[in-house]
Amino acid sequence: MSPTWLDVAQPWRAADAAYLAHWGQCPACKAAATGHADRCATGQHLHHTYLAALATT
C-alpha cells in the first residue's frame, strides 16, 4: 500500500507545529520573520528542521 499525502506530509506538519510553538514565545524569532533580526539558536534549529521536512514533501 502506498503512502497517502497525509503520511508524507506528517514530518512537515510536526516540524511546522514545533517551530510555530517556539515562534509564538520568542521575540527574536518574531523579529526575524520581519527581517529585522536573526532567529535565536533554538529557532534557527527548528526552522532548519522545518525546511528540511518541507523539502521532502
For residue range 20-53, list pLDDT tens digits in order.
999 999 999 999 989 889 999 999 999 999 999 8
Q: What confidence category does residue 6 fall into, taking pLDDT thresholds of 50, 70 and 90? A: low
Q: How many C-beta atoms surround the C-beta of residue 57 within 10 A?
A: 11
**pTM score, whole prediction:** 0.76
Cell output for 5: 499525502
**3-class secondary structure for the chain?**
CCCCHHHHHHHHHHHHHHHHHHHCCCHHHHHHHCCCCCCCHHHHHHHHHHHHHHHCC
